[in-house]
Amino acid sequence: AAGVIQSPRHLIKEKRETATLKCYPIPRHDTVYWYQQGPGQDPQFLISFYEKMQSDKGSIPDRFSAQQFSDYHSELNMSSLELGDSALYFCASSSLLAGAGEQYFGPGTRLTVT
Amino acid sequence: KQEVTQIPAALSVPEGENLVLNCSFTDSAIYNLQWFRQDPGKGLTSLLLIQSSQREQTSGRLNASLDKSSGRSTLYIAASQPGDSATYLCAVNSGGYQKVTFGIGTKLQVIP
């Protein structure tokens, strides 16, 4: 069965650079979520999209933005990167119709800011 | 605001033991609850999902229970194996399309 795809899997950037993370949800899933997991921390919710519209917003810095495209893939754009942005970024997708709201997580993108 | 707590933070058991991991949440108005496994530096593997109307779910050696009224869930692992060593995270979904709130996890080590 198809799973959530995230790219790239690993990314190394320098401070003040920009990074773009991509997420491809499970086919027919209509909601995408982004989470950030710092070292030794639990995943923290950043932002979500339902049918290409932002549906919820968590502790996402103003330097970050995200969108969901017509093909339902989503991108998380991160600018003016800081050392503290180094983390594992997860994307998840769900569908109330197809999966009773269960969130399926991708493998994550490990971002290292140097 | 939903808060999720997991106890203990770490657990070390000899191989073959049965064990229980605990999860508590502050807002009982939940949609579902998921248990995940995470190996060091790796992604999240979904183990079990319990809908708010269910009391328990089983998968192999794993059994998860849910007591919504008391805000508690437990993950029971039978006959533990060294391969079970990982961090186990509890995640609560408070609405159908809402974010999940994670606990900090229980780091399990099964000693051969």
- Nearest residue on chain B to A95, alpha-carbon basis: B97
**Is A96's CB within 8 Å of B96's CB?**
yes
B62-86, pLDDT tens digit by residue? 999 999 999 999 999 999 999 999 9
Q: Cα–Cα distance between A78 and A62 in angstroms, integer? A: 9
Chain A residues with CB inside 8 Å of B91's CB?
A: 103
Q: Are B93 and B33 in contact (CB under 8 A)?
A: yes
Query: Which of B35, B38, B39, B44 to mutate: most A Cβ within 10 Å?
Result: B44
Does residue B111 surpass a pLDDT of 90?
Answer: yes
Q: Distances from the Cα of B107 to the Cαs of A15, A84, B17, in angstroms? A: 32, 24, 16
Does residue A93 surpass a pLDDT of 80?
Answer: yes
B3-20, pLDDT tens digit by residue? 999 999 999 999 999 999
Q: Distances from the Cα of B10 to the Cαs of A11, B7, B37, in angstroms? A: 30, 8, 14
